[in-house]
Amino acid sequence: LLVFAVLNIIIVVLMDNFNWRKKFGILKSLGFTSHYIIRQNICKYMMITFISTIFALILHLSISQKLMATLLLDAFTNSPVLLFIICFCFVGAIFSAAYVCSLNIKRISVIELMEE
């Protein structure tokens, strides 16, 4: 399930970068470097990721044990170490995906965008 979530995020990042292509060109023409624009993009995605991860952790810790008890699975326990390892891996995967997908910002040419 997490693989599909990461693939979905990759698609969203690629679509967002394509939609912001002209704005990235304008930022480059104003003197901003590609690395600055990539860092700004990654910070945007990481803020969303951290907020959604905290929200997911709160939901998991408050609902999952009751949900498993409803399904008659009383042996279910929340392992904090495993939970934080999974969250760390998920945040790392999103960071990596956002970084790799944002690398095409380096190839945006201001002159090419002016010709469109």
Q: Print the domain residue range for 60.
A: 2-115
pLDDT for the residue 39: 93
Which tokens belong to 76?
A: 């279910």
- Per DSSP, 116 falls in state -
User: What is the count of structural domains for the chain?
Assistant: 1
CB neighbour list of residue 52: distance below 8 Å, 6 or more residues apart? none
For residue range 32-88, what is the model confidence (pLDDT) as tens digits? 999 999 999 899 989 998 998 888 888 888 887 777 777 766 666 677 788 889 888
- HSE-up of 77 (CA within 13 Å, CB side)? 5
* pLDDT computed for residue 74 by the predictor: 65
- What is the pTM assigned to this prediction? 0.76
Whether the Cβ atoms of residue 105 and residue 16 lie closer than 8 Å to each other: no
- The pLDDT assigned to 40 comes to 92
pLDDT of 35 reads 93
Q: What is the model's pLDDT at position 83?
A: 84
**pLDDT (tens digit, 9 = 90+) per residue, 21-33?**
888 888 888 999 9
66-68-71 Cα angle (round to 5): 115
Kindly tell me the sign of the dihedral angle through the C-alpha atoms of 41, 2, 90, 69: positive
